[in-house]
Amino acid sequence: MLRYFPKKHQKVLKLSIPAGINSLLDMLQVVTDLIMVGRISTFAVAAVGLGLQSLMFVFAILTLLHVGTSALLSRFAGSGHKKRASTGLSTLLQFAFYLSLPMMVLWYFLASHVYVWFGTAPQVVALGEDYVQMLTWMLPFVFVKLVFVTALNATGDTKTPMYVKIASIILNVFLNYVFIFGNLGFPELGVMGAAVGTVIVNILEFMVYVWLYLSKKMPYVPMWHYSKSLMKRALKVGIPASFERSLTFGSFMLFTVIIAHYGTAVLAGYQIGLRVEGLAFMPGIGFTIAAMALMGQGLGAKKPLQAREDVMLVLKYTVGFMFFLSFFMVFMPEKIVWLFTDDAQTIKEASLYLRIVGVSQIPLAFNFVLSGALRGAGDTKRTLKINLISLWFVRIIPAFLLSWYFDNIMLVYLAMISDTFVKATWLWMTFDKGEWMKVKV
């Protein structure tokens, strides 16, 4: 089918479509847990949803690996330096493993306090503590796996991660079926069963990538070498991106504090709305991965204008795709939300959220692609500045004030999408200036 598109479009789509499917399946893996525990109770939905959101603090650290790996290895891929790329991958794999260990220990002991900090109902606290602690056991495997996936994306291979993810989500559904509900002779673990299934799936994914690497089925030479100079180059762009993501998730958690003030039904509706919205924009994130890879490859090949042209083409596809999906979010959210829960009040709250965020999908496409392109160019300090200022002064502070004075959840959501529009405008102005062409990685 892609052969009917112009060649430059084929290059973008061959990267974007598998990456988009992979990102969509990542979110489906999360959504599967929510759908299946949603048949237990609203408290179970709130526990799983908040637990996954709280783990975003840990996953913010993954941004360091994701952006650093992509910016470094995509440039080597563009310049044809296979040996340097292989050394870079070996270095980042070792760094990822050692970084995951203290993160695992730290989060294991902090996890039990997360639900208490948010002032959630006792039933949610009881279900959530064990769920999040169980998830921490997968962190070393997730950290190293991310480096493998990003390294493949950097060379233009987005199909292999897609195939691995298709197999893993099928397995995840099966494990949820047996562990959550106690089928086929397994004990009924409820919410804990969802965590056990997720941990097992991530360990198996990690083992697949290790096998591909050692079997030389990747465009990298297996080695065990650590390069301080390459690690410094990766950290140079990775640390600002990680700091940015940490602040972003921190602001999201503060935003959740505001939402939790309105009760369990609103909190559960918000969590479901986030997951549905995530399903809508995960394919868009696939285009973002393509933008990062194409930007890095173009700059590595000393063709910045080609890199810009590729990013603009990615942006056009992303805008069109997310505009199409926004119709479903605005006009028929109830038909989507009922898959997650049969609680009438939760369905109402989730539908309100989706209708409001549905109108911001086009600027969200700009945010994804342009921030990804700038990160791919190594221009992570500028994206940090943009996200930090916009999140706090357009989203968080106004949301707190509106909630305090008017106690109206709709006004809180309007502050949220205002941030999306402001950030999109700012990122476009930054990208259009072209100063990212001068950044050294």
- Measured distance CA(361)–CA(374) in Å, rounded: 20
Rounded to the nearest 5 degrees, what angle is found at the Cα of 172, between the Cα atoms of 169 and 177? 135
* pLDDT for residue 119: 65
* pLDDT for residue 230: 93
Place of tokens 């945010």: 367
Structure token pair of residue 85: 């790329």
C-alpha closest to that of 296 among 144, 161, 439: 439
Contact 323, 104 (CB under 8 A): no
Structure token pair of residue 15: 């990267």
* pLDDT for residue 355: 92
* pLDDT for residue 112: 64
* pLDDT for residue 10: 80
Distances in Å between the alpha carbon of 376 and those of 95, 156, 314, 437, 439? 20, 13, 14, 11, 10
DSSP letters for 7-63: HHHHHHHHHHHHHHHHHHHHHHHHHHHHHHHTTT-HHHHHHHHHHHHHTHHHHHHHH
* pLDDT for residue 346: 86
Q: Collapsing DSSP states into helix, strand and coil, what is residue 377?
A: coil
Print pLDDT tens along the chain (441 aa). Answer: 566 667 777 878 888 888 878 877 777 777 777 777 766 777 777 777 767 766 777 777 888 888 889 989 999 988 888 899 999 999 999 999 999 999 888 888 776 676 666 666 666 776 777 778 888 899 999 999 999 999 999 998 989 999 999 999 899 889 988 998 888 888 888 778 888 898 999 999 999 999 999 999 999 999 989 999 999 999 998 889 888 887 777 777 778 788 888 887 888 888 788 778 877 777 777 888 889 889 989 898 889 999 999 999 999 999 998 899 889 999 988 888 887 777 888 888 889 999 999 999 999 999 999 999 999 898 988 998 998 899 889 988 998 898 888 888 889 899 999 999 999 999 999 999 989 988 887
Question: What one-character DSSP code corresponds to residue 219?
Answer: S
DSSP letters for 144-173: HHHHHHHHHHHTT--HHHHHHHHHHHHHHH
* pLDDT for residue 333: 87
- Measured distance CA(249)–CA(59) in Å, rounded: 9
Q: Collapsing DSSP states into helix, strand and coil, what is residue 205?
A: helix
